[in-house]
Chains A and B, each alone.
Chain A
Amino acid sequence: MVIKRLNHIIYSWGTALLISLMMVFTIQAKELVLVGSTAADFKPLSLFETRKIFLGYQVKRGDITLTAIRNINDEASYQIFLQKVVHLSARNYERRLMSKTFRTGTATVQASESLTTLKKQLYSNKYSVSVMWLKDVELNDKLKVIQVLWKEST
């Protein structure tokens, strides 16, 4: 009798947990976020400043110049970044960066093809920022979300 009741409880809780987990995974929308090291203590960037830094222009906090690193590891997040942040196609964005460097001699915006390398770059310089999926930052205690850039509509 007790065992039967225990089985029933486990079954009920198990089912509830499974349903909850399913709901979490189906409802949680994708979010593209601007990230930096947890040591980063500068105030968030405006959308204009975010676009500015990823187009290779200088953005400062106090006397320090922030550095942007492009995350080209994930095609889907890069496409959203292009559409929502820099407002250019991949081809035009590349050409804009090259053209600016060729014209003015200023440094281009670095790109990282590996998420692991990108994270290491962010750990090593608290004034570096990049763009990632929220899920790639959430469980990482060395990175923090500076601001949300885009959220999937559910």
Chain B
Amino acid sequence: MLRAISHQLRKVLGLSLLFSVSFMTHAEVELLIFPEIKANYQSANSFSTDNITPSVDIFSAGAIGPVNFLAEAYASENVQHIERLQIGFNMSDNSRVWFGRHHNPYGYWHTQFHHGTFLQTPISRPAIAELGSSSGIVPSHSTGVLIEGELEQGMSAWHYTASAGLTSSLVSAGGGHHGGAAERALHDFEISNPKPNEHKLGYALRLAYFPDALAETQFGGFINHQEIMLSLDTRIDEVDHLTDIIIHDDHHSADDDEHHTEVSEQDMTLNLNIVGLFASYHQGSLNLVGEAYYFSAAVPMDGQQHKSNFSAAYVHASYSLDEKWTPYIRLDTTLSNRNNEYLSLLDSFPTDAYTVGLRLDLKNNNAFKLEYSKRNISDIDSERWLLNWSAVW
């Protein structure tokens, strides 16, 4: 108990120090605060105060001489996280290098929106862009190096991003990092509680083309290679056959040790490759977004790597009727996902879903949103209502 309190205290002190340093320096600091209150109701579940989640995301960025910094922290009743912590330099007018924990640069949605849900039109995220720790299937963060830049061509531009760093591991979640109820979830490397032995490397490369360099319409693609370490209790054979893994105990033999080491090295890493395309089209009040990803996963099982492939995609459309009202709709789908080993590990991922919602923007950067989704999770249909208030200060 004391240990847990001490850990939380350390996190809070760390975050306070981080933001204090930002303000005490002579840097010009950008500060954004995103408060949010979300209520969710799922069919067949009762509603209680546990379904209401207040949270806040605090963002700060600036520059001290040639050094750029960026820090973002998220806090709810149960979760406090350093989401991003980056220090970087301008390599040229149009390119930067960052070190630290950053967003894994994949797709459109994940690179445009993260926390700070006020900035995104809907309440929920598309299934393939869901945060790794909350039923998502792609690691959300990487801790290492990020290089990004823009290449202007007249009035159009290319944006590129390359990332290499410690990626997520797959753990028994006991409730996802952002309030998800997943049994197993992707768990990002935590700066405030580093466990480098539990994380391997991930690499990402993303390229986007902007026909108008200053507008939001963009098209692009990305590739991701992720080496995801599995904790013992998340291995698929452990899940299916609880006796398969040798667990250390007080009576183990040298042979056991050898066998266990072998298991650790060969069977504890899941290789995930993702290739994706995305497009976002903005014209007046209309916004259309579509993304399609192809996943190739090699999942360790019974001493072998079982390869399996599947695809997932979504389309999102929103139309602002005026400065206040914006209805939206989204369709998520997954193909060739039957008996897929990777998805069976992350079985809270909604393989098919449709979502409709309405956003009401109020003065002073406040918004209310109401959203209904019908989702298929592990071959079971469920309905979900979300109500959300979000703002930015």
To the question of whether A and B form a pair in one complex, the answer is yes
A54 to chain B, nearest CB (A): 10
A75 to chain B, nearest CB (A): 14
User: Are A102 and B214 in contact (CB-based, < 8 A)?
Assistant: no
**9-residue interface stretch from A33-41, A93-101, A130-138, A142-150:** A93-101
**9-residue interface stretch from A6-14, A16-24, A103-111, A120-128:** A103-111
User: Are B116 and A102 in contact (CB-based, < 8 A)?
Assistant: yes
User: Are B361 and A91 in contact (CB-based, < 8 A)?
Assistant: yes
Cα distance, A98 to B31, chains bound together (Å): 10
Per a CB cutoff under 8 Å, which of B30, B94, B323 touches A107?
Answer: B30
Docked complex: B96-153 residues within 8 A CB-CB of A: 111-112, 114, 116, 119, 148
User: Are B32 and A103 in contact (CB-based, < 8 A)?
Assistant: no
Q: How many residues of B contact A (CB 8 A)?
A: 28
Contacts of B148 in A (CB 8 A): 104
User: Are B155 and A48 in contact (CB-based, < 8 A)?
Assistant: yes
Interface size range of chain A in the complex: 20 to 34
User: Are A102 and B323 in contact (CB-based, < 8 A)?
Assistant: no
User: Are A102 and B155 in contact (CB-based, < 8 A)?
Assistant: no
A60 is an interface residue with CB less than 8 A from chain B: yes
User: Are A51 and B214 in contact (CB-based, < 8 A)?
Assistant: yes
- The 6 A-B pairs at the shortest CB distance, nearest first, are namely A105-B61, A105-B70, A99-B119, A101-B30, A91-B323, A55-B214
Q: List 12 A-B contacts (CB under 8 A).
A: A60-B93, A91-B323, A95-B119, A98-B32, A98-B119, A102-B59, A104-B148, A105-B30, A105-B61, A107-B30, A107-B63, A108-B30
A-binding residues in B (CB < 8 A): 28, 30, 32, 59, 61-63, 68-70, 86, 88, 93-94, 111-112, 114, 116, 119, 148, 155, 213-214, 216, 323, 361, 365, 392
